[in-house]
Amino acid sequence: MSDVTGTLFVVATPIGNLGDISGRTKSILGDVNAIACEDTRTSGNLLRHLGIEKPLIAYHEHNEQALAPALADRIAAGESIALICDAGTPTLSDPGFRVVRECRRRGLSVSPVPGPCAFIAALSASGLPSNAFRYVGFLPPKSAARVRFLESIREATETVILYESCHRIDKFVAEINDVLGAARVICVARELTKLHETILTGAVAEVIPKLVANSLRGEFVVLIAPVDFQL
Ligand code: SAM
Protein backbone atom coordinates (compact mmCIF):
# COMPACT_ATOMS: atom_id res chain seq x y z
CA MET A 1 0.00 0.00 0.00
CA SER A 2 1.57 3.35 -0.97
CA ASP A 3 -1.19 5.86 -0.07
CA VAL A 4 -1.47 5.92 3.69
CA THR A 5 -3.02 9.37 4.12
CA GLY A 6 -5.90 9.87 6.54
CA THR A 7 -5.87 6.33 7.92
CA LEU A 8 -5.62 4.74 11.33
CA PHE A 9 -3.67 1.49 10.94
CA VAL A 10 -4.28 -1.11 13.65
CA VAL A 11 -0.95 -2.92 13.61
CA ALA A 12 -0.13 -6.21 15.35
CA THR A 13 3.42 -6.66 16.64
CA PRO A 14 5.27 -9.78 17.88
CA ILE A 15 4.24 -11.56 21.11
CA GLY A 16 7.85 -12.55 21.80
CA ASN A 17 9.64 -13.56 18.64
CA LEU A 18 10.74 -10.53 16.64
CA GLY A 19 11.03 -12.75 13.56
CA ASP A 20 7.22 -12.70 13.41
CA ILE A 21 7.14 -9.13 12.15
CA SER A 22 5.89 -9.05 8.56
CA GLY A 23 7.19 -7.07 5.63
CA ARG A 24 3.92 -5.15 5.43
CA THR A 25 4.01 -4.32 9.16
CA LYS A 26 7.50 -2.93 8.75
CA SER A 27 6.58 -0.89 5.70
CA ILE A 28 3.41 0.61 7.24
CA LEU A 29 5.29 1.55 10.42
CA GLY A 30 7.89 3.20 8.23
CA ASP A 31 5.29 5.12 6.16
CA VAL A 32 2.95 6.62 8.78
CA ASN A 33 3.27 10.12 10.27
CA ALA A 34 3.20 8.92 13.89
CA ILE A 35 2.82 5.80 16.00
CA ALA A 36 0.45 5.61 18.97
CA CYS A 37 1.72 3.03 21.45
CA GLU A 38 1.10 1.85 25.01
CA ASP A 39 4.62 2.22 26.32
CA THR A 40 7.01 4.46 24.43
CA ARG A 41 10.04 2.61 25.84
CA THR A 42 8.86 -0.85 24.79
CA SER A 43 7.78 0.32 21.34
CA GLY A 44 10.90 2.48 21.02
CA ASN A 45 12.99 -0.69 21.39
CA LEU A 46 10.97 -2.50 18.69
CA LEU A 47 11.25 0.45 16.30
CA ARG A 48 14.99 0.73 16.91
CA HIS A 49 15.28 -2.97 16.07
CA LEU A 50 13.44 -2.25 12.80
CA GLY A 51 15.51 0.85 12.08
CA ILE A 52 12.40 3.07 12.11
CA GLU A 53 12.32 6.54 13.66
CA LYS A 54 8.87 8.08 14.13
CA PRO A 55 7.17 10.43 16.58
CA LEU A 56 5.57 8.27 19.32
CA ILE A 57 2.29 9.15 21.03
CA ALA A 58 1.68 7.51 24.42
CA TYR A 59 -1.80 5.97 24.20
CA HIS A 60 -2.65 3.71 27.11
CA GLU A 61 -5.51 2.62 29.33
CA HIS A 62 -5.25 5.76 31.49
CA ASN A 63 -5.51 8.32 28.67
CA GLU A 64 -7.18 6.48 25.78
CA GLN A 65 -10.62 7.95 26.42
CA ALA A 66 -9.29 11.51 26.50
CA LEU A 67 -6.88 11.06 23.60
CA ALA A 68 -9.14 9.22 21.13
CA PRO A 69 -10.85 12.38 19.75
CA ALA A 70 -7.49 14.14 19.26
CA LEU A 71 -6.08 11.16 17.36
CA ALA A 72 -9.23 11.03 15.22
CA ASP A 73 -8.82 14.79 14.53
CA ARG A 74 -5.36 14.09 13.15
CA ILE A 75 -6.67 11.28 10.92
CA ALA A 76 -9.46 13.62 9.73
CA ALA A 77 -6.80 16.23 8.88
CA GLY A 78 -5.09 13.70 6.58
CA GLU A 79 -2.40 12.23 8.83
CA SER A 80 -1.75 8.53 9.01
CA ILE A 81 -1.26 6.98 12.43
CA ALA A 82 -0.28 3.43 13.35
CA LEU A 83 -1.74 2.07 16.57
CA ILE A 84 0.36 -0.60 18.26
CA CYS A 85 0.44 -2.14 21.74
CA ASP A 86 3.28 -3.67 23.77
CA ALA A 87 2.75 -7.08 22.15
CA GLY A 88 0.19 -8.67 19.85
CA THR A 89 -2.94 -7.13 18.40
CA PRO A 90 -4.22 -3.77 19.72
CA THR A 91 -7.80 -3.66 21.08
CA LEU A 92 -7.63 -7.32 22.29
CA SER A 93 -7.16 -7.01 26.07
CA ASP A 94 -5.17 -3.93 25.13
CA PRO A 95 -5.96 -0.26 24.39
CA GLY A 96 -7.31 0.78 21.01
CA PHE A 97 -11.06 0.18 20.96
CA ARG A 98 -11.88 3.81 21.79
CA VAL A 99 -9.89 5.42 18.98
CA VAL A 100 -11.10 2.83 16.46
CA ARG A 101 -14.70 3.50 17.49
CA GLU A 102 -14.14 7.27 17.33
CA CYS A 103 -12.79 6.96 13.76
CA ARG A 104 -15.69 4.71 12.76
CA ARG A 105 -18.21 7.16 14.24
CA ARG A 106 -16.71 9.90 12.06
CA GLY A 107 -16.54 7.71 8.94
CA LEU A 108 -12.72 7.83 8.89
CA SER A 109 -10.53 5.14 7.38
CA VAL A 110 -9.35 2.36 9.72
CA SER A 111 -7.30 -0.48 8.33
CA PRO A 112 -5.92 -3.60 10.07
CA VAL A 113 -2.37 -4.81 9.59
CA PRO A 114 -2.82 -8.32 11.00
CA GLY A 115 -0.19 -10.38 12.75
CA PRO A 116 0.50 -12.06 16.11
CA CYS A 117 -2.18 -12.50 18.74
CA ALA A 118 -1.51 -14.74 21.75
CA PHE A 119 -4.93 -16.37 21.98
CA ILE A 120 -5.18 -17.12 18.25
CA ALA A 121 -1.67 -18.62 18.31
CA ALA A 122 -2.61 -20.73 21.36
CA LEU A 123 -5.90 -21.90 19.81
CA SER A 124 -4.23 -22.84 16.54
CA ALA A 125 -1.73 -25.14 18.29
CA SER A 126 -3.94 -26.40 21.15
CA GLY A 127 -5.75 -29.34 19.58
CA LEU A 128 -9.00 -27.98 21.06
CA PRO A 129 -12.01 -27.30 18.80
CA SER A 130 -11.58 -24.04 16.91
CA ASN A 131 -14.80 -24.04 14.89
CA ALA A 132 -16.52 -22.14 17.70
CA PHE A 133 -14.78 -20.37 20.55
CA ARG A 134 -15.28 -17.60 23.08
CA TYR A 135 -12.46 -15.27 24.06
CA VAL A 136 -12.99 -13.61 27.42
CA GLY A 137 -9.61 -11.97 28.09
CA PHE A 138 -8.63 -11.65 31.76
CA LEU A 139 -11.01 -12.79 34.50
CA PRO A 140 -11.42 -10.62 37.60
CA PRO A 141 -8.72 -11.40 40.22
CA LYS A 142 -11.15 -12.34 43.03
CA SER A 143 -11.54 -16.08 43.42
CA ALA A 144 -15.35 -15.97 43.94
CA ALA A 145 -15.90 -14.21 40.59
CA ARG A 146 -13.62 -16.67 38.79
CA VAL A 147 -15.45 -19.64 40.28
CA ARG A 148 -18.79 -18.09 39.24
CA PHE A 149 -17.46 -17.71 35.70
CA LEU A 150 -16.30 -21.33 35.62
CA GLU A 151 -19.73 -22.46 36.81
CA SER A 152 -21.29 -20.50 33.94
CA ILE A 153 -19.24 -22.44 31.35
CA ARG A 154 -19.78 -25.91 32.82
CA GLU A 155 -21.95 -26.91 29.85
CA ALA A 156 -20.16 -24.76 27.24
CA THR A 157 -20.32 -26.11 23.69
CA GLU A 158 -17.50 -23.88 22.45
CA THR A 159 -13.85 -23.58 23.48
CA VAL A 160 -13.37 -20.81 26.07
CA ILE A 161 -10.12 -18.84 25.96
CA LEU A 162 -8.64 -16.67 28.71
CA TYR A 163 -5.48 -14.82 29.59
CA GLU A 164 -4.06 -15.50 33.05
CA SER A 165 -1.18 -13.97 34.97
CA CYS A 166 1.75 -16.11 36.13
CA HIS A 167 0.87 -15.14 39.72
CA ARG A 168 -2.47 -16.95 39.56
CA ILE A 169 -2.00 -19.68 36.95
CA ASP A 170 -1.57 -22.55 39.46
CA LYS A 171 -4.55 -21.39 41.49
CA PHE A 172 -6.65 -21.01 38.37
CA VAL A 173 -6.04 -24.52 37.02
CA ALA A 174 -6.84 -25.86 40.50
CA GLU A 175 -10.13 -23.94 40.37
CA ILE A 176 -10.89 -25.44 36.93
CA ASN A 177 -10.23 -28.87 38.43
CA ASP A 178 -12.54 -28.18 41.38
CA VAL A 179 -15.41 -26.61 39.43
CA LEU A 180 -15.33 -28.40 36.05
CA GLY A 181 -13.81 -31.72 37.17
CA ALA A 182 -10.49 -33.46 36.63
CA ALA A 183 -11.52 -34.90 33.25
CA ARG A 184 -12.21 -31.56 31.54
CA VAL A 185 -9.77 -31.06 28.68
CA ILE A 186 -7.72 -27.87 28.83
CA CYS A 187 -4.69 -26.39 27.15
CA VAL A 188 -2.18 -24.17 28.94
CA ALA A 189 0.04 -22.32 26.46
CA ARG A 190 3.06 -20.57 27.95
CA GLU A 191 5.64 -18.19 26.46
CA LEU A 192 4.41 -18.68 22.88
CA THR A 193 7.01 -18.02 20.16
CA LYS A 194 9.71 -17.59 22.84
CA LEU A 195 12.61 -19.76 24.00
CA HIS A 196 10.62 -21.54 26.73
CA GLU A 197 7.42 -22.11 24.78
CA THR A 198 5.36 -24.89 26.43
CA ILE A 199 1.95 -26.10 25.29
CA LEU A 200 0.22 -28.62 27.56
CA THR A 201 -3.03 -30.16 26.34
CA GLY A 202 -4.98 -32.86 28.18
CA ALA A 203 -7.36 -33.55 31.05
CA VAL A 204 -6.87 -31.04 33.88
CA ALA A 205 -5.63 -33.87 36.12
CA GLU A 206 -2.81 -34.61 33.64
CA VAL A 207 -1.93 -30.99 32.92
CA ILE A 208 -1.59 -29.81 36.56
CA PRO A 209 1.46 -31.94 37.52
CA LYS A 210 3.22 -31.14 34.22
CA LEU A 211 2.56 -27.44 34.69
CA VAL A 212 3.89 -27.44 38.23
CA ALA A 213 6.93 -29.53 37.21
CA ASN A 214 7.60 -27.08 34.39
CA SER A 215 7.75 -23.42 35.29
CA LEU A 216 5.03 -21.10 36.46
CA ARG A 217 6.86 -18.06 35.16
CA GLY A 218 6.08 -16.17 31.96
CA GLU A 219 2.92 -15.42 30.02
CA PHE A 220 -0.03 -17.79 29.78
CA VAL A 221 -3.11 -18.48 27.68
CA VAL A 222 -5.63 -20.97 29.08
CA LEU A 223 -8.16 -22.76 26.87
CA ILE A 224 -11.04 -24.84 28.21
CA ALA A 225 -12.60 -27.40 25.87
CA PRO A 226 -16.34 -27.84 25.31
CA VAL A 227 -18.08 -30.03 27.87
CA ASP A 228 -18.13 -33.29 25.87
CA PHE A 229 -14.79 -32.95 24.12
CA GLN A 230 -12.26 -35.75 24.35
CA LEU A 231 -8.76 -35.50 22.99
N1 SAM B 1 -3.13 -7.83 22.68
C2 SAM B 1 -2.38 -9.01 23.07
C3 SAM B 1 -2.63 -10.13 22.07
O4 SAM B 1 -2.96 -9.85 20.92
O5 SAM B 1 -2.44 -11.29 22.41
C6 SAM B 1 -2.70 -9.42 24.49
C7 SAM B 1 -2.26 -8.43 25.51
S8 SAM B 1 -2.63 -8.82 27.14
C9 SAM B 1 -2.35 -7.29 27.94
C10 SAM B 1 -1.22 -9.72 27.66
C11 SAM B 1 -1.54 -11.19 27.96
O12 SAM B 1 -1.54 -11.93 26.74
C13 SAM B 1 -0.50 -11.87 28.82
O14 SAM B 1 -0.75 -11.63 30.20
C15 SAM B 1 -0.72 -13.33 28.48
O16 SAM B 1 -1.85 -13.85 29.14
C17 SAM B 1 -1.02 -13.21 26.96
N18 SAM B 1 0.22 -13.34 26.19
C19 SAM B 1 0.89 -12.35 25.55
N20 SAM B 1 2.00 -12.84 24.95
C21 SAM B 1 2.02 -14.18 25.21
C22 SAM B 1 2.88 -15.23 24.85
N23 SAM B 1 3.99 -15.03 24.13
N24 SAM B 1 2.58 -16.49 25.29
C25 SAM B 1 1.48 -16.72 26.03
N26 SAM B 1 0.61 -15.74 26.39
C27 SAM B 1 0.88 -14.50 25.99
CATH 3.40.1010.10 assigned to domain 2-113? The reply is: yes
Q: Which residues line ligand 1 at a C-beta cut-off of 6 Å? A: 15-16, 85, 87-89, 92-94, 117-119, 163-165, 189-194, 219-221
Regions of the chain where pLDDT drops below 70: 1-3
Question: Which ligand 1 atom sits nearest the alpha carbon of residue 137?
Answer: 8
Query: Residue 3: its pLDDT value, please?
Result: 67
- Residue spans in the chain of domains classed CATH 3.40.1010.10: 2-113
Query: Residue 215: its pLDDT value, please?
Result: 80
- Residue spans in the chain of domains classed CATH 3.30.950.10: 118-224
Kindly give the distance from the C-alpha atom of residue 190 to the centroid of ligand 1, in angstroms, as a whole number: 10
Query: Residue 2: its pLDDT value, please?
Result: 47
Return the best residue to mutate from 83, 163, 169, 172 for the ligand 1 pocket (most ligand atoms within 8 A of CB).
163
H or E segment and range at residue 40: helix 40-50
DSSP, res 17: -
CATH class of 118-224: alpha beta
> What's the pLDDT tens digit per position in 40-89?
999 999 999 999 999 999 999 999 999 999 999 999 999 999 999 999 99
Kindly give the distance from the C-alpha atom of residue 171 to the centroid of ligand 1, in angstroms, as a whole number: 19
